[in-house]
Structure 1
Amino acid sequence: MLPTTRYAGRPMDSTLRHRVSRTRVSRTLAATVAGALMSLSLPALAADLAEIQERGYMEVATEDNYAPFNFIENGEAKGFNADMLEELRDYADFEIRQEILPWTGLLAAVSNDQYDMALTGASVSDERLRVFNYTPPYASAQHFYIKRADDDSLQSVADLSGKTLGVQAGSVLLSRLPELEQMLEEQDGELGEVVEYESYPEAFADLANGRLDYVIDSAVPVNTLVASKPEIFAKGQAVSGAGYVSWPIPKDSPELLDYMTEFLAHMQESGRLAELQEKWFGESFSDLPSKPLTSVEQFHELAGLDD
């Protein structure tokens, strides 16, 4: 599938408007209709902790195509969240039932009360915080640029001025591009053409073959990609403030949020959380917030974002 090009960030002036192409409304409408039909066809399951304990099980939604968080290898679920799910099953005094969904409908299904929570690699954003609370973060989602390993022209953020970049359509990374734009403006540079992709493998393929100058992704996928293909890709500098990955829980389940916060504290104190972070992310994150994220204002303060 061909990428679409669009500028995302601050209001556009005339010098940027020529880079803009229309959003594909039909695709958005189809996704909305599909989500609505799914919500009508499935029973409501979401509940707070007391009801979960009374019925004897919790229903979690996961995905299977976002390494190293969740993926399938030789027919078996693998990844950080697959291991955390097993730890949660040992910890909980009720059954944990898992449903694997495509990412495109996963958060919508949880927000529509079809599942109790999403146990997946979901980045925190303003939009999502209006629907969900988040458990304390278990990974950094700060954004970095990725370049070709043999491209010596990109040594710092300043070198990105005017260059063509790739990012996933509809992603949190796209919504935070104004931070990079501001970094570049402070060094008398400007954000170049922004190319949106349906998936990151497409963007990385175009980076490798020279159609893009760089791609922006968050810390964990960047580390995974560069470690797996160091001869092709190299990690650049940060292009955003702090970001976080954790588990979304509907706002009408505060007791469940407390329970999952206690579970993560248990994993932290036992040292098991750091072990799994090292195993799957290539590093542990000792400076992450220890409290749940429950508001846009709290997130902005932690991430150093301006209102």
Structure 2
Amino acid sequence: MNFNRRALLLCAAVALPLAACSKKGPDGSSLEAIQARGKMVVATEDNYKPFEYIENGEPKGLDHDLLAGLKKKAAFDIQQQIIPWSGLLPGVTTGKYDAAITAAVITPERLKTLDFTMPIAEATQYYVVRAGETRIKGVADLAGKKVGVQSGGASFAALDDLKVTLAKSGGELGEVVQYTSFPEAYQDLANGRLDYVINGIVNLTSLTAEQPGRFRIGEAAGRPTYAAWAVAKGNITLLNYLNAYLAGARADGSLFELQQKWLGASFTDLPDAAPQ
């Protein structure tokens, strides 16, 4: 059992406001610093349905409901900033935000500068095509095709896995177009400017359920991955605090109920800690 797992079990057994875990993270965003100033500042993405998005001026999605539960339990104020994806994780690493309350996919590159909570959902990357697409029947058919991904996101990271898969059948990755947000990529796909888009399975399930006549999900384009919240690397006290809350949400079943509500499925066999 590693340190984080031992600390998680300890924290889950005590009240959330207590700083029971002694390893200190970055000074500005440590749990002790947050308690001293009486507030925590978190960032959430503005357009990542169904995890977090704005509808008629109201924040909605899995992460917003989970954050609402955290606010009820916290002994300090939690201030939320809803921002575009591009500034979210960098804002955590620089200390602008204490935590990213967003469905950030855990990748080896991100693990260099961030620590992740226990997963909140599966996030394996799949491809999506137009509903009437006949050229693409499987991953091998993606060779040479034009793909849309989110700049700096997990879909971009999945391209490394896809390159390896395509090479096994003698294929190569085609042109890659990076987008700030997925709605732009989906629009270009629908208009024929892209051949396919890569995104997490939960997001694509939501997309195709809403627009079955426009889009169709294909196969996995990368290895199994998970979505989780993030804090700056080494901020163990805050990480354990958030893990304790999520562990409680798993134990009382509320996490799985919210997954079913927003994602259309519940993931009851998620890892207890972020895969390293």
Q: By how many angstroms is 1:45 displaced?
A: 8.8
In structure 1, distance between residues paired with 2:85 and 2:172: 33
Identity fraction in percent: 46
Which residue of the other structure, out of 69, 76, 81, is the alignment partner of 1:87? 69
Q: Which residue in the other structure is 1:221 paired with?
A: 203
Which secondary structure state, in structure 1, belongs to the residue aligned with residue 268 of structure 2?
Answer: coil
In structure 2, distance between residues paired with 1:263 and 1:278: 19
In structure 2, distance between residues paired with 1:210 and 1:63: 27
Q: Which residue in the other structure is 1:275 paired with?
A: 257
Which residue of the other structure, out of 69, 93, 104, is the alignment partner of 2:86? 104
Is the 2:40–2:78 contact (alpha carbons within 8 Å) kept by the matching residues of 1?
A: yes
In structure 2, distance between residues paired with 1:204 and 1:170: 17
Which secondary structure state, in structure 1, belongs to the residue aligned with residue 273 of structure 2?
Answer: coil
Aligned Cα root-mean-square deviation (Å): 2.0
In structure 2, distance between residues paired with 1:68 and 1:185: 33
Q: Which residue in the other structure is 2:228 paired with?
A: 246
Amino acid at match of 1:174: F
Q: By how many angstroms is 1:274 displaced?
A: 0.8
Is the 2:99–2:230 contact (alpha carbons within 8 Å) kept by the matching residues of 1?
A: yes
Higher relative contact order (CA 8 A, sep 6+): 2
Q: By how many angstroms is 1:118 displaced?
A: 1.3
Query: Are 1:161 and 2:143 counterparts?
Result: yes
Q: Which residue in the other structure is 2:273 paired with?
A: 291
The 1:146–1:253 alpha-carbon spacing in structure 2 relative to 1, beyond 3 Å, is: same
Superposed CA deviations along residues 84-138 of structure 1, whole A, max 9, x for unmatched, are 1111012223322222333222222222222221111222222321111000111
In structure 1, distance between residues paired with 2:160 and 2:182: 20
Superposed CA deviations along residues 43-100 of structure 1, whole A, max 9, x for unmatched, are x993322232333332222232222222222222111111011110122233222223
The 1:52–1:147 alpha-carbon spacing in structure 2 relative to 1, beyond 3 Å, is: same
Q: By how many angstroms is 1:154 displaced?
A: 2.0
Task: Return 5+ residue gaps in structure 1 as ranges.
Answer: 1-43, 299-307
Is the 1:45–1:116 contact (alpha carbons within 8 Å) kept by the matching residues of 2?
A: no
Which secondary structure state, in structure 1, belongs to the residue aligned with residue 212 of structure 2?
Answer: coil
Mapping for residues 1-307 of structure 1, pairs under 5 Å: 46-293=28-275, 298=276
Which secondary structure state, in structure 2, belongs to the residue aligned with residue 121 of structure 1?
Answer: strand
Q: By how many angstroms is 1:223 displaced?
A: 1.2
Q: By how many angstroms is 1:261 displaced?
A: 0.9
The 1:169–1:93 alpha-carbon spacing in structure 2 relative to 1, beyond 3 Å, is: closer
Amino acid at match of 1:67: K
Is the 2:162–2:221 contact (alpha carbons within 8 Å) kept by the matching residues of 1?
A: yes
The 1:278–1:46 alpha-carbon spacing in structure 2 relative to 1, beyond 3 Å, is: farther
Is the 1:45–1:115 contact (alpha carbons within 8 Å) kept by the matching residues of 2?
A: no
Is the 2:146–2:176 contact (alpha carbons within 8 Å) kept by the matching residues of 1?
A: yes
The 1:165–1:109 alpha-carbon spacing in structure 2 relative to 1, beyond 3 Å, is: closer
Q: State which drifts further: 268-277 or 85-94.
A: 85-94
Amino acid at match of 1:95: D
Is the 2:103–2:120 contact (alpha carbons within 8 Å) kept by the matching residues of 1?
A: no
The 1:114–1:162 alpha-carbon spacing in structure 2 relative to 1, beyond 3 Å, is: closer
In structure 2, distance between residues paired with 1:256 and 1:117: 8
In structure 2, distance between residues paired with 1:292 and 1:165: 28
What TM-score does the superposition give when structure 2 sets the normalisation length? 0.83
In structure 2, distance between residues paired with 1:98 and 1:170: 22
What TM-score does the superposition give when structure 1 sets the normalisation length? 0.75
Which secondary structure state, in structure 2, belongs to the residue aligned with residue 286 of structure 1?
Answer: coil
Is the 2:158–2:221 contact (alpha carbons within 8 Å) kept by the matching residues of 1?
A: no
Structure 1 ranges of 4+ moved more than 3 A: none
In structure 2, distance between residues paired with 1:104 and 1:185: 31
Q: State which drifts further: 170-179 or 135-144.
A: 170-179
Q: By how many angstroms is 1:169 displaced?
A: 2.8
Q: State which drifts further: 130-139 or 284-293.
A: 284-293
Which secondary structure state, in structure 1, belongs to the residue aligned with residue 28 of structure 2?
Answer: coil
